[in-house]
Amino acid sequence: MKKREKPLSERQVSILRYIWSYLQENTRPPTIREIGSATDISSTSVVNYNLTKLTERGLLEREAEVSRGLRLTEKAMHEIGQVTEAVAAVVENVMETAVRMVRVPLLGNIVAGEPIEVGNNDFSTYDEDDALELSATMLPMGKADELFALRVSGESMIDAMVNDGDIVVMKQQQMAKNGDMVAVWLNSSDTTTLKYFFHEGNRVRLQPANPTMDPIFVDPNDVRVQGKVMMVLRNTA
C-alpha cells in the first residue's frame, strides 16, 4: 500500500500561491528575498529550505544557475487549484522566458581614465543583490558564471563608445590579445583601469580611446589581466 504524502504546511502552500500570483503579475518568478518578504519569512535559508522540500515533493523545478529559476509543476497547480490547459500554457510560456534570464554580478566601478585604487584586486566582494538580469540571448557564448559586470567611471574610452556611467560585461580571463579591451590590475600601484591592451616586447601599452589622453606604459610583470569586455550596456539616464 502506497504511503500517503504528508500534507503541505501552511507556509509551503503560501509560498506556492505567492509564486503563482507573482507570475501572473510580473511574467517571471520571484526571488528568494521577495518570497520571504511576502510570506513573512525573515531568513533566506528558511525560504530555501522550503523551496527544497517543495522540489522534493515534485511541486517545483529549480534551475540552480539561472536567476529566478523556479518552475511550478502541474502537480503544484493542482495543489493550489489553478490547473486548466490555458493556465498551464501561460505558465509554460512565462517559465520559458524566465529561464533564459541570467544573473550577472555587478561588482563595482572601474575607472576609464587615470587608474585609481579600488581596494580589491580580485573583485571578490559585492552585494549579492546588486546584479544584472540579462537575457541569455544577449550574452556571449560561454559559461554564465564566468561573467561579471563593472560600472565605468571616466571618459578615456569614449571613442570606443564606452561612456561614463555605462556598464561593461566582462568575461573572467587572465590573458589578453593585442587590441582587447580589458580590465587590468597594476600590481606596483594597487590600481585598476579599463583600457585597450597591447604587448610591445619589454612593455605593455594600455591605450585609452580618447585623443586627449596619453597611453600608460608598464612592465609586463606589473600587469594582471582580470577580464575582457564582451558587451557594453549604455547608460541612458
Cβ-in-10-Å burial (0-12, 13-18, 19+) of 131 comes to: middle
CA distances from 165 to 24, 46, 120, 187, 231 (A): 34, 37, 20, 26, 14
- Cβ atoms of residues 73 and 16 within 8 Å: no
- Which is catalytic among the residues 14, 171, 195, 228? 195
Cell of 73: 509543476
- Which is catalytic among the residues 67, 156, 171, 228? 156
- Cβ atoms of residues 128 and 157 within 8 Å: no
CA distance linking residue 76 with residue 207, whole number of Å: 56
Known active-site residue 195: yes
DSSP state of 31: P
Beta bridge partners of 182: 195, 228
Phi and psi at 136, nearest 5°, equal -60, -25
Provide the annotated active-site residues: 156, 195
